[in-house]
Structure 1
Amino acid sequence: MNKSDLIEALALRSGLSKQKAKGMLEAYVEIVTEAMSHNEEIVLIGFGTFIPRPQTERLARNPKTGTPVMIPARTTVKFKPGKYLLDAINKPGEKK
C-alpha cells in the first residue's frame, strides 16, 4: 500500500473527501515527525509505539572498494507493534 492507496482507504472508511483525507494524513505525518525530532515517543495503544533511538558513530566498509568509512552518529526510529496489531496479523489457524 502506498500513500495514495492509504488516502483512498481513509476517505472510504471515514466518509471524508480524498482531499480532506490527504490533509489529515499529511497533518498526522507532520505531527509525528515534529514529535520524533524532539525525541518524544509516539504511543498508539493497541497499534504500536514509535521510539526514537540514538545510534553511535561507527566504522563501516565501502562494499565496492573495501575502504573504511565512518558513519556519523544519528537517530533512528524503532517501531514496537502493539498486542492488537500482532493479534490481527497473526490470526490462529490462518495460513500465509
Structure 2
Amino acid sequence: MPVKTLTRAEISDAIAESINFPRHRAMEILEQILEQMIVGLVKEGELKLSSFGSFNVRKKSNRIGRNPKTGKEVMITPRKTISFRASHILKDGVSRK
C-alpha cells in the first residue's frame, strides 16, 4: 500500500475549514509554525511538542562505507540527522485506531 504524503496545502486547508479561517492565513500560520520548528532544532538541537513527540538533531561521525557497485571502501563524511520519538499519547492514539 503506497504511503500518503500529507502536504502543507492539505494541512492548511484542514485548519482553515475546521476553524472557519481564510485559507491563505492558515497557510501563513502553518509556515510560521514549521519555520519556528526549524529554528528550534538549529538553535537547541531538540524540539519537544507536548502530546506529540520530540525531534532531536544527532551528529553522525565520519565512517567507512562501501560502494555496493564496486565494493570499494569510501569515507563517508560527518553529518547531522534528525530523529523523532513519538510520545506515549501519540502512540496510544495510533494503537487505538
TM-score normalized by structure 2?
0.82
Could you tell me how far 1:67 is from its partner in structure 2?
A: 2.2
For structure 2, the 5+ residue unaligned runs are 1-5
Deviation at 1:90, TM superposition (A): 0.2
- How big is the shift at 1:36? 1.0
In structure 2, the residue matched to 1:47 is 52
Give the corresponding residue for 1:66.
Answer: 71
Q: Does 1:37 align with 2:49?
A: no
Aligned length: 92
**1:70–1:15 Cα change, 3 Å:** farther
Q: Supply the RMSD in Å over aligned alpha carbons.
A: 1.6
2:11 to 6, 9, 15: 6
* d(CA) in 2 for partners of 1:63, 1:13: 49
Letter in 2 for 1:47: F
Identical amino acids, percent of aligned pairs: 29
For residues 61 and 84 of structure 1, what CA distance do their matches in structure 2 show? 40
CA distance in 2, matches of 1:9, 1:64: 45
Distance 1:9 1:23 in 2: 14
